[in-house]
């Protein structure tokens, strides 16, 4: 069997086009653009790349981007004061603080300071709790992007066995909550899971969010399963001094067994930014008291 390729890049491009149309309608209604503030503390190279691409995507969607780059030695008090100012700013609909933060800053306190109604990353405990109890709120971008791809592939996910490998607050746990919400039978695996291969073998849907290059092997996969690879790992390339990106799934092996699979790059990655724009737009419409119907995007 050769797996269908799940083209996250094309799906994300279509989603971003729909968002741009709705963002233009928002601007016409509200008399201003939907606004997304991004806060970056320090000079982490990967974070700088992410923030640049988020800023570019925000502008392309016809939204206003407010970028705040702070030095690595910024105090917790100064960062919290900036977030408080963004919470109060009527031009800002969504706030994203790029993680990880420098070690002297307390991530939990920083996230807890963001107004939950502007928490477009969905990391605030209020939004995590809303997801857990099935209330509407902001859902973290990467797992929501994965769910959109799965719904597009499968339609209904009801009754399927889903295994999520990874239990981070950013990907694994919200992914499992979303799949439970779709009526899957969900297993969350992690570094202490025994016989991971056997656990994964029972899955109709596998989501790998581990951060271990090509951990998931072909022999672990039930024939025909849908495999979503969240991992982004940089490994040595073919030529000396070169590197390449691989996922958490052994793509070449698994695509011979799975029914469908996301590539890395070009699978989940592009969905993350598209869903961020989606969340920012949802926040903007809510902010003006004219919520978007859920089927709009």
**Where does this chain bind ligand NDP (CB under 6 A)?**
142, 165-168, 170-172, 189-193, 196, 209-212, 215, 230-233, 268-269, 272
For residue 67, what is the enclosing H or E element? Answer: strand 64-70
Q: Of these residues, 121, 229, 248, 250, which one is catalytic?
A: 121
Residues 6+ apart with CB under 8 A from 15: 148, 271, 274, 275, 278, 297
Beta bridge partners, 163, equal 187, 206
For residues 114 and 165, which CB has a smaller minimum distance to ligand NDP in the complex?
165
- Provide, rounded to whole angstroms, the least separation between the CB of residue 210 and ligand NDP: 4
Q: Whole-number minimum distance, CB 190 to ligand NDP, in Å?
A: 4
| Residue nearest ligand NDP by beta-carbon distance | 168
Select which of 98, 222, 229, 248 is catalytic. Answer: 98
Which residue's CB is nearer to ligand NDP, number 64 or number 264?
264
Q: Which is nearer to ligand NDP, 118 or 167 (CB)?
A: 167
Tell me, letter by letter, the H, E, C secondary structure of 75-98: CHHHHHHHHHHHHHCCCCCEEEEC
Do residues 86 and 55 touch, judged by C-beta distance below 8 A? no
Please report how close the Cβ of residue 170 comes to ligand NDP at its closest, in angstroms. 5
Is 247 in contact with 229 (CB distance < 8 Å)? yes
What is the H or E stretch that residue 127 is in?
helix 125-133
Interatomic CA distance for residues 137 and 116, integer angstroms: 8
CA-CA distance, 282 to 284, in Å (whole number)? Answer: 5
98 in catalytic set? yes
Closer of 64 and 162 to ligand NDP (Cβ): 162
Tell the smallest beta-carbon distance from residue 293 to ligand NDP (Å). 27
Minimum distance of ligand NDP from residue 57's CB (angstroms)? 13
Q: Of 213 and 253, which has the nearer Cβ to ligand NDP? A: 213
Contacts of 164 (CB under 8 A, 6+ apart): 172, 175, 176, 179, 186, 187, 188, 189, 207, 209
Q: Which residues are the active-site residues?
A: 54, 98, 121
């Amino acid at each position: 069997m050769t797996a269908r390729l799940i083209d996250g890049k094309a799906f994300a491009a279509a989603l971003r086009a729909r968002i741009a149309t709705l963002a233009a309608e928002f601007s016409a209604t509200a008399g201003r653009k939907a606004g997304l503030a991004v806060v970056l503390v320090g000079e982490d190279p990967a974070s700088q790349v992410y923030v640049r691409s988020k800023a570019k995507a925000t502008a392309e969607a016809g939204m206003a981007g407010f970028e705040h780059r702070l030095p690595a030695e910024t105090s917790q008090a100064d960062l919290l004061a900036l977030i408080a100012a963004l919470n109060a700013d009527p031009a800002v609909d969504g706030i994203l603080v790029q993680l990880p933060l420098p070690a002297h800053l307390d991530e939990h306190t920083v996230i807890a300071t963001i107004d939950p109604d502007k928490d477009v990353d969905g990391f605030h405990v209020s939004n995590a709790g809303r997801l857990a109890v099935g209330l509407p709120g902001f859902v973290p971008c990467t797992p929501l992007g994965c769910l959109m791809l799965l719904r597009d592939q499968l339609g209904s996910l009801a009754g399927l066995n889903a295994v999520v490998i990874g239990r981070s607050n950013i990907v694994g746990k919200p992914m499992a909550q979303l799949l439970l919400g779709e009526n899957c039978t969900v297993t969350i695996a992690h570094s202490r899971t025994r016989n991971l291969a056997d656990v994964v073998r029972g899955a109709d849907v596998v989501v790998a969010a581990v951060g271990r290059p090509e951990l998931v092997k072909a022999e672990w996969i039930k024939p025909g399963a849908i495999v979503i690879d969240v991992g982004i790992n940089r490994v040595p390339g073919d030529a000396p001094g070169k590197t390449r990106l691989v996922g958490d799934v052994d793509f070449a092996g698994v695509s011979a067994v799975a029914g469908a699979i996301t590539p890395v790059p070009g699978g989940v990655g592009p969905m993350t930014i598209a869903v961020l724009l989606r969340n920012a737009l949802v926040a903007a419409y809510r902010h003006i008291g004219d919520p978007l119907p859920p089927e709009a995007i």
